[in-house]
């Protein structure tokens, strides 16, 4: 098992916030739940497991690094999260310095061998020349994720092409959230997006003489909407949707945004 299979993009946070060690463990536990397949494990269970390990001895090491880890009953797979706090948090590290880089490993109870291998790999990655400085330099989820993987395996290219691209179509009815959407795109490395103005069919028909007065009889019209098209790696779709729902709530009950994902059967040109 390699780091690249268990490090989860949605569990990478370059702007991790916490005031102290206990709050850090609570916030880490919540952020790990961004990975949907472990949704049956509560963030409180994750917190208690990590805290139990910390109570035994701090996982805060030298050079601003901590590797909190635990095996959790009921967990069926390993998950690694990566969190950066550039100001540092007092995590009771060996060298008494504040911790800035948190690599968190949780895995199934009983899988001690694999757990130790992941700990060893993580420790080796963080000892790579310039690894700490390069990780602290990242400002986006995708940048942090790929920088860690490049230190794990130098042959992994920037903007990894792992997985197949899909076409994601967003219909944005609440135009006030466009800035939030743009910021999320940046976090996930979406560099190109096509946006077009769109209208509800009711408004279109209301302007047609044949239907004039039949639709929208009050004469009022909403501000329209925008339809955004992006090409996205299929591995990033669920993390991106999770991020939308973290900010806007359940998309099934939120009228301001809807998302559709389609296969790309044919593509030509740059």
- Measured between alpha carbons, how far is 183 from 250 in angstroms, rounded to an integer? 19
How distant, in Å, are the alpha carbons of 83, 198, 201, 204, 219 from that of 213? 56, 21, 14, 12, 8
Paired strand residues for 264:
none
In this predicted structure, what is the pLDDT of residue 267?
82
CB of 240 closer than 8 Å to CB of 187: no
In this predicted structure, what is the pLDDT of residue 215?
44
Q: Tell me whether residue 157 is in a domain.
A: no
Rg, the chain, Cα only = 22
Q: What is the pLDDT of residues 127-148, one digit of tens each?
A: 988 999 999 999 999 999 999 9
How distant, in Å, are the alpha carbons of 6, 74, 81, 180 from that of 161? 17, 32, 21, 26
In this predicted structure, what is the pLDDT of residue 214?
45
Please state the rounded mean pLDDT for residues 16-37: 95
pLDDT higher than threshold 50 for residue 205: no
pLDDT higher than threshold 80 for residue 105: yes
Q: Tell me whether residue 248 is in a domain.
A: yes
Do residues 53 and 112 both lie within one domain? yes
Q: Tell me whether residue 77 is in a domain.
A: yes
Do residues 132 and 254 both lie within one domain? no
Do residues 9 and 96 both lie within one domain? yes
Q: Tell me whether residue 97 is in a domain.
A: yes
220 band by pLDDT with thresholds 50, 70 and 90: very low
pLDDT higher than threshold 90 for residue 30: yes
Please state the rounded mean pLDDT for residues 150-177: 78
Which residue range forms the structural domain that includes residue 247? 165-263
How many structural domains does the chain have? 2
Please state the rounded mean pLDDT for residues 149-154: 81
pLDDT higher than threshold 70 for residue 15: yes
Q: Tell me whether residue 158 is in a domain.
A: no
Do residues 26 and 137 both lie within one domain? yes
Q: Tell me whether residue 159 is in a domain.
A: no
φ/ψ region of 108 (left if φ > 0, alpha if ψ in -120 to 50, else beta) reads beta
For residue 197, what are the contacts with CB-CB under 8 A and spacing of at least 6? 224, 225, 226
203 band by pLDDT with thresholds 50, 70 and 90: low
Do residues 243 and 131 both lie within one domain? no
Do residues 15 and 128 both lie within one domain? yes
Specify which of 59-68, 224-233, 238-247 reaches the highest per-range mean pLDDT: 59-68
Among 52-61, 101-110, 144-153, 246-255, name the one with the lowest average pLDDT. 144-153
């Amino acid at each position: 098992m390699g780091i690249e299979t268990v490090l989860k993009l949605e569990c990478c946070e370059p702007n991790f916030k916490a005031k102290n060690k206990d709050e850090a463990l609570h916030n880490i536990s919540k952020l790990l739940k961004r990975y949907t397949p472990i949704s049956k494990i509560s963030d409180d269970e994750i917190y208690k497991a990590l805290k139990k390990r910390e109570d035994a001895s701090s996982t805060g090491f030298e050079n601003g690094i901590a590797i909190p880890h635990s095996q959790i009953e009921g967990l069926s797979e390993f998950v690694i999260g990566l969190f950066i706090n550039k100001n540092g948090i007092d995590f009771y590290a060996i060298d008494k310095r504040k911790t800035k880089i948190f690599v968190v490993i949780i895995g199934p109870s009983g899988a001690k061998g694999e757990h130790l291998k992941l700990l060893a790999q993580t420790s080796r990655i963080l000892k790579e020349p310039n690894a700490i400085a390069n990780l602290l330099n990242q400002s986006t989820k995708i940048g942090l994720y790929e920088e860690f993987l490049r230190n794990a395996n130098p042959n992994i290219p920037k903007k990894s092409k792992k997985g197949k691209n899909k076409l994601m179509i967003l219909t944005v009815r609440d135009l006030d959230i466009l800035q939030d959407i743009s910021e999320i795109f940046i976090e996930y490395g979406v560099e190109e997006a096509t946006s077009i103005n769109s209208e509800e069919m009711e408004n279109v028909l209301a302007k047609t003489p044949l239907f004039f007065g039949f639709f929208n009889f009050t004469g009022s019209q909403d501000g329209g909407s925008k339809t955004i098209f992006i090409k996205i790696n299929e591995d990033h779709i669920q993390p991106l949707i999770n991020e939308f729902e973290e900010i806007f709530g359940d998309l099934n009950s939120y009228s301001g945004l809807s998302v559709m994902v389609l296969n790309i059967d044919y593509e030509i040109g740059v």
